[in-house]
Structure 1
């Protein structure tokens, strides 16, 4: 497994669903249904290196983009797995060749455990803060999934909101 450090203060992006924009660093949304690299119940925050990649990830193939708020983050992480160049048998166990499996179909239709969840389990149990991986929605884009439960005092995940424009609670959505 290839390991790298991110930062200090590397900039990543995410389009936030307006209803949940008051919790920009929470991984609770992904914990609800699971994601490519997290089982249901496991908090994970998915970010993208570039705004365009974040937009394509948010859209998930939709032809019309739903409402969203773009947020930038300053990230410093001690250790993350780095699959950003894709699977390379010189650096990765053969199981990683299936990182890009059709996880939704496998989990929701076939009712099996996707290979990507098993791979995420290995990253999480090794104490790594997250995983860099290629975007399947934006060719050439890079994503980062981080696991809040694995963050330590040396790590930092901060939304860039110097003017306090993000909502403070859900009162707009009652």
Structure 2
């Protein structure tokens, strides 16, 4: 699948000066990337990005950024038949015990799934948000490969270089 359009991230201000690094996800691992694998977790809407970044407790300081994206090779998890062909289902994607699995056995099932997609050449994955208050229409894009050119172009929108100050 080819995705063209805006993407949004609500960053911890610690990472605001490096909005294209994927370093936080690489260091700690995420639902769809094991430790050591960089990933950019983005959302298709601003509200979804804010929900994703502030899932526990009160709203914390957040830096909201947007990107213009053109990413080819996106795996669409909304297609249940395609998911089944990969040996996983929507319930497994939503399983909130992924952190416990990661601690117990090194990688969560969703991380193993993502590693398999990466090995098959997928650059990103479109997946619903599992943040509190999200609906099936709140979508995220998890990118494993990105650059300033196709086939996985991601351009930060910062015309005034505000993040470099």
- TM-score, length basis structure 2: 0.87
Find the counterpart in structure 1 of residue 9 from structure 2.
14
Partner Cα distance (2:25, 2:31) in 1: 9
Structure 2 residue ranges without an equivalent (≥5): none
How big is each residue's C-alpha offset from its partner over 1:134-169, in whole Å with a ceiling of 9 and x where there is no partner?
10112121001001379974321111011111135x
> Which residue, out of 69, 72, 79, partners 2:73?
79
1:66 aligns with 2:60: yes
Superposed displacement of residue 91, structure 1: 2.5
> Which residue, out of 80, 87, 93, partners 1:95?
87
Structure 1 residue ranges without an equivalent (≥5): 169-174
1:167 aligns with 2:158: no
Number of equivalenced pairs: 158
Q: CA RMSD in A?
A: 1.9
Partner Cα distance (1:165, 1:150) in 2: 20
Partner Cα distance (2:15, 2:113) in 1: 28
Find the counterpart in structure 1 of residue 110 from structure 2.
116
Superposed displacement of residue 28, structure 1: 1.1
Do the aligned partners of residues 71 and 81 (structure 1) sit closer, same or farther apart at CA in structure 2, a change above 3 Å counting?
same
Find the counterpart in structure 2 of residue 172 from structure 1.
none
Superposed displacement of residue 57, structure 1: 0.5
Superposed displacement of residue 63, structure 1: 2.6
Partner Cα distance (2:147, 2:125) in 1: 12
